[in-house]
Structure 1
Amino acid sequence: MAVAPSFGYGSLLDHARQNGLLTADVVRLFEFFDTADFELILRLVWQASNVNLSLEIPDDRTRQAYLRVRDCLIEAVRAVHPEHGAVQHHLPHMYQFLKSFDTVLSLNYDLLVYWTMTYGFNIEDGHLFKDCFVRSVFDDDWQKFRARYRERINTLVFYPHGSLALCRNAVEQESKIHAAGAGLLEAILDEWRGERVVPLFVSEGVKAQKVASIQSSYYLSTLYREVLTSERQTLTLFGWGIGEHDRHLLQRMRNTGIQRVAVSVFGDDQVYCNYAYQTIQDDLGQVQVDFFNCLSPGCWIHPLPAQV
């Protein structure tokens, strides 16, 4: 929301429903599998369509369902996701904010962090973002990327809920889609239209559904098993409401050495502060919790005075 008003949607499925994008067959799929996860439904009907195609089973209805789910997702993403040009003036401030951390875990599946990373590649300040993808494929020996080579300092970036830029093919091989900043979103949608891949992100669902989706992916499950449970002394939560169905991510960080947690808050929301404090104590144990205003200079899109 801070970056673009179009992000003020409840979910991609909500947007599709409100704009009449869903056919009766597609609605039945979401209801039958009891999910609001676009990625899951798209993957299921894509796999079914591929099986029918390989066995030469006539089944136009399954294929049409796949095409409709895919097109609904494309239309929803195009409607709610800002173009690169609409956010590029924020990238210098987002870059300065994110580079101050040694690890960034982005729970949003949009492209803002990706665009911030690519913006930083053109800044010669000794800092480097690393997402541990090499030639578009995730390197599960991710710890080695901590080592500094030509850079003076680095930040590792991970997507525990996936990203629009991540995808998997018909045999479950996972990869990252590359394109220069302004062309990335369209390159992703073109890949989806080409029926070569389906997106890899966890969009909606209760805890059990989200964990199941995470465990179905090698990349996401590696983050869940290893990255979230790696040692750290401090943790900053920015722009995260710590929803009940996402608390499992916080709980994975228990006993990792966290002593202090900084939590962003919008305005003077004491109700949220009370909730966040108790949730953190319950999920992480007895740690120090400090709150800060999410509109503070230097936070996300808000420049420091010297940068104005």
Structure 2
Amino acid sequence: MIKQVHKWREIAAHFADNLIVGNGGSIAVCPDRFRYKDLHAYAIKNNLLKSNVIEVFEKATPNNPDFEKVLYQLWLADFINKRFDVEKSERERVREGYTLVRRALINTVKDIHPIQAEIDSKLNQIGRFICNFSNVLYLNYDLILYWASLKVNSKEKHRCKDGFSSKESKKRTTLSRLKFSEDLEKIWEPFNHNSASTAIFYPHGSLMLYQTRAKHEERKLGLSGDDMLDIITEFWAKNDNQPLFVCEGSSEEKLAAISRSNYLTTVYHKVIPRFKSTVVIYGWSIGEEDQHIIRQLRRDSLSKIAVSIVLRGRSEQSISKEQEYITDKLSNLVSEEDIYFFDADSKGCWCH
């Protein structure tokens, strides 16, 4: 039996604290680009995956190609190889496959990314939506939320802040390299006496974030102008820096990757546990690979959680099964009565 699914505006007034956005948020903006099957098709078409890796995709995720599940299978294979003392040369082949899939995902997200003008109207709506929240966790790697935050910041009364800034002149160049301030209280304080602010965090990294190979310094690319994607592409082509992307296949491996980054560690250990009262989840499947995020939320701090669910083109059985899954995943945080579902396509939520 389906639990009630609300329209967003029916419950919006009761949820104004924290927002978590998963891959469904990117898919809602660009349905034909950010689904894993579209990323997979692009990677194959452009020879980013070798035949042996393609076979792993076909075996591990035959109906819906999933990069993170394949990464998990390769990680598991490497783990088993170590335990059974498989020859080093054979272990290296599996590790090379893992690295190849990870790199293919990063490059594919960058290559298929829409330009800002294509999604401009949706960015305006996303900007209005995120202004309802004190904190936003964006689990995706794309620029959608960043562009939406720029829309907000072009106005006077509300500010989106992510903690990255530069001590250089306020007159920005097309590309600047911004440093993260670990003074979280400054991120959360209002922009001025007459305005509110929304704090934005990228717990799994972003196309804009990178780590220098030499000193492991972390920076955000501060971008302006209409050619941001071209600038990012040129930056990655000409600089020997490491993209700050957490796309490992298991929750444990994701957590290990997070621990290698000062910024991601700060978000994980100091930001997420401070989420209080209410949480809205949009487009996040709450998969096993993301349980590290759930573990950082505190039961004694939360009162209600609202979760988006797609209704269009689905049977009651499918919807009911997803609701049961979500309820189970969130059962350690709030009671079943305090989990609300809302239509992911309803007016006023995210890009709608």
**Secondary structure of 2:292 counterpart:** helix
Q: 1:127: Cα distance to partner?
A: 0.6
Looking at structure 2, the residues matched to 78 and 257 of structure 1 have their Cα atoms a distance apart, in angstroms, of 37
1:200 aligns with 2:244: yes
How do 1:231-270 residues align onto structure 2 when only pairs under 5 Å count? Answer: 231-255=275-299, 257-267=301-311, 269-270=319-320
Looking at structure 1, the residues matched to 303 and 220 of structure 2 have their Cα atoms a distance apart, in angstroms, of 34
1:154 aligns with 2:197: yes
Aligned twin of 1:138: 180
Aligned twin of 1:292: 342
Aligned twin of 2:34: 7
| Alignment gaps of 5+ in structure 2 | 1-26, 55-68, 73-96, 167-177
Looking at structure 1, the residues matched to 330 and 105 of structure 2 have their Cα atoms a distance apart, in angstroms, of 34
Q: 1:198: Cα distance to partner?
A: 1.9
Deviations 1:212-244 (A, max 9, x none): 111111100111111011141111001111111
Match of 1:110 among 142, 149, 166: 142
Looking at structure 2, the residues matched to 71 and 279 of structure 1 have their Cα atoms a distance apart, in angstroms, of 30
Q: 1:177: Cα distance to partner?
A: 0.4
Runs (4+) off by over 6 Å = 24-27, 68-71
Q: 1:275: Cα distance to partner?
A: 0.8
| Alignment gaps of 5+ in structure 1 | 28-33, 38-64, 303-308
Q: Is the 8 A contact 2:109 2:142 kept in 1?
A: no
Aligned twin of 1:165: 208
Looking at structure 2, the residues matched to 250 and 74 of structure 1 have their Cα atoms a distance apart, in angstroms, of 24
Across the aligned residues of Structure 1 and Structure 2, the Cα RMSD in angstroms comes to 2.8
Moved more, 200-209 or 214-223: 200-209
Length-normalised TM-score, structure 2: 0.69
Q: Counterpart amino acid of 2:165? A: V
Looking at structure 1, the residues matched to 277 and 41 of structure 2 have their Cα atoms a distance apart, in angstroms, of 38
Structure number with the bigger relative contact order (C-alpha 8 A, sep ≥ 6) is: 2
Aligned twin of 1:177: 221
Change (3 A) 1:241 1:24: closer
Aligned twin of 1:56: none
Q: Is the 8 A contact 2:302 2:334 kept in 1?
A: no
Looking at structure 2, the residues matched to 78 and 232 of structure 1 have their Cα atoms a distance apart, in angstroms, of 34
**Secondary structure of 1:296 counterpart:** coil
Match of 1:76 among 84, 102, 108: 108
1:209 aligns with 2:256: no
Q: Counterpart amino acid of 1:164? A: L
How many aligned residue pairs are there?
A: 266
Percent of residue pairs bearing the same amino acid type? 33
